[in-house]
Amino acid sequence: PAGLSAGTFPAKLWRLVNSPRVRSVRWDSRAQGLLIDRCLLERELLSSGHAHRGRGHGPAPVPHTFRATQFRSFVRQLYRYGFRKVPGWVGSAAPGDAGAWLHYCNPCFRRDRPDLLLR
C-alpha cells in the first residue's frame, strides 16, 4: 500500500508469503496467519542458507531478503511487528506435507487486507 516502504519487514514478508517461488512461508487456511517451515526458511530465505547453495541445482534461489542469518533473529522480527505464535499448533500445511509448520498470527497481516500493513 501507498505509504509503506518496500524495505520494511512487513512489506518483505507480505511479498514472500504471496510469492509462488517461496515454499517456506504460507498463509494458513483462513489467510489470517502464517505457516512457517523453520528448516526450509533457514535454507531458502535467511542469509546463511544462501552460502551453501550451488548454482544450477533446484529452483532459482530467492534473493537475500532478510538481514537475519538465524531463525531466532527472524522470530524476533516477527514479535517486534506484533506477530504471536499460535500455541499448540504444529502440523501439516497441506495434506501430504512431511514437515512441521509453525503458526504465527498478527491481526494486521491478512492476505486480503494489504492496507492493514500500515499498522
pTM: 0.74
Query: What residues contact 42, with CB distance under 8 A and at least 6 apart?
Result: 48, 49, 70, 71
Please tell me the distance from the alpha carbon of residue 73 to that of residue 67, in angstroms, as a whole number: 9
Domains of the chain: 9-48+65-89+99-117 (1.10.10.10)
Cell digits of residue 99: 514437515
What pLDDT does residue 75 have?
93
Residue identified by cell 542469518 is: 69
* Residue ranges in the chain assigned as alpha helix (H): 9-17, 38-44, 47-50, 71-80
Residue identified by cell 552460502 is: 51
What pLDDT does residue 89 have?
57
Phi, psi angles (nearest 5°) of residue 55: -80, 145
List strand residue ranges (DSSP E) for 3-73, in order: 25-27, 33-36
Cell digits of residue 116: 492493514
Q: pLDDT tens for residues 27-68?
A: 998 888 999 999 899 888 886 544 444 444 444 445 556 666
Per-residue pLDDT for 9 more than 50?
A: yes
The rounded mean pLDDT for the chain is 78
